[in-house]
Amino acid sequence: MIHSDQELQATQERIAYFQRVLAQLRVTAAPKEFPFVASGYRAEIVRMQDETLEYLTRHVSEKAPVEAS
Protein backbone atom coordinates (compact mmCIF):
# COMPACT_ATOMS: atom_id res chain seq x y z
CA MET A 1 0.00 0.00 0.00
CA ILE A 2 1.23 3.46 -0.88
CA HIS A 3 1.34 5.94 2.02
CA SER A 4 3.17 8.96 0.61
CA ASP A 5 4.01 10.82 -2.58
CA GLN A 6 7.55 9.48 -2.29
CA GLU A 7 6.23 5.89 -2.27
CA LEU A 8 3.96 6.81 -5.20
CA GLN A 9 6.95 7.97 -7.23
CA ALA A 10 8.92 4.82 -6.41
CA THR A 11 5.97 2.64 -7.42
CA GLN A 12 5.52 4.52 -10.69
CA GLU A 13 9.22 4.08 -11.45
CA ARG A 14 8.97 0.36 -10.69
CA ILE A 15 5.95 0.03 -13.00
CA ALA A 16 7.90 1.75 -15.79
CA TYR A 17 10.87 -0.55 -15.18
CA PHE A 18 8.72 -3.70 -15.35
CA GLN A 19 7.11 -2.42 -18.54
CA ARG A 20 10.56 -1.97 -20.08
CA VAL A 21 11.46 -5.52 -19.01
CA LEU A 22 8.31 -6.85 -20.68
CA ALA A 23 9.06 -4.91 -23.85
CA GLN A 24 12.51 -6.49 -23.97
CA LEU A 25 11.19 -9.97 -23.18
CA ARG A 26 8.78 -9.72 -26.12
CA VAL A 27 11.86 -9.65 -28.32
CA THR A 28 14.27 -11.94 -26.48
CA ALA A 29 12.13 -14.68 -24.92
CA ALA A 30 11.23 -17.79 -26.83
CA PRO A 31 7.64 -17.66 -28.10
CA LYS A 32 6.57 -20.71 -26.09
CA GLU A 33 8.19 -19.41 -22.89
CA PHE A 34 7.05 -15.79 -23.18
CA PRO A 35 3.54 -16.18 -21.71
CA PHE A 36 4.95 -17.88 -18.62
CA VAL A 37 7.76 -15.37 -18.15
CA ALA A 38 5.52 -12.37 -18.83
CA SER A 39 2.66 -13.43 -16.55
CA GLY A 40 4.55 -12.69 -13.33
CA TYR A 41 5.61 -9.24 -14.48
CA ARG A 42 2.10 -8.51 -15.72
CA ALA A 43 0.53 -9.52 -12.40
CA GLU A 44 2.94 -7.31 -10.49
CA ILE A 45 2.29 -4.34 -12.80
CA VAL A 46 -1.47 -4.75 -12.35
CA ARG A 47 -1.07 -4.96 -8.55
CA MET A 48 1.07 -1.82 -8.44
CA GLN A 49 -1.29 0.05 -10.78
CA ASP A 50 -4.20 -0.82 -8.49
CA GLU A 51 -2.26 0.53 -5.50
CA THR A 52 -1.39 3.67 -7.45
CA LEU A 53 -5.01 4.34 -8.37
CA GLU A 54 -6.13 3.67 -4.79
CA TYR A 55 -3.64 6.25 -3.54
CA LEU A 56 -4.43 8.82 -6.23
CA THR A 57 -8.18 8.61 -5.68
CA ARG A 58 -7.91 9.16 -1.92
CA HIS A 59 -8.00 12.82 -0.90
CA VAL A 60 -4.82 14.07 0.73
CA SER A 61 -6.70 14.66 3.99
CA GLU A 62 -7.77 10.99 4.23
CA LYS A 63 -5.60 8.55 6.13
CA ALA A 64 -4.48 5.40 4.36
CA PRO A 65 -6.43 2.31 5.43
CA VAL A 66 -4.64 0.13 7.96
CA GLU A 67 -3.21 -3.00 6.40
CA ALA A 68 -4.24 -6.38 7.76
CA SER A 69 -1.43 -8.35 9.43
Under a CB-based contact definition with an 8 Å cutoff, are residues 12 and 56 in contact? no
Name the CA dihedral angle for 33, 35, 38, 44, rounded to a multiple of 10 degrees: -140
Under a CB-based contact definition with an 8 Å cutoff, are residues 14 and 48 in contact? yes
48 in any annotated domain: yes
Domain count across the chain: 1
9 in any annotated domain: yes
61 in any annotated domain: no
What pLDDT score was predicted for residue 68? Answer: 60
What pLDDT score was predicted for residue 46? Answer: 98
46 in any annotated domain: yes
Under a CB-based contact definition with an 8 Å cutoff, are residues 29 and 41 in contact? no
69 in any annotated domain: no
21 in any annotated domain: yes
Look up the pTM and report it: 0.87
65 in any annotated domain: no
Domain enclosing residue 29, as ranges: 5-56
49 in any annotated domain: yes
Q: Which residues of the chain have pLDDT under 50?
A: none
The Cα–Cα gap between 28 and 8 comes to: 30
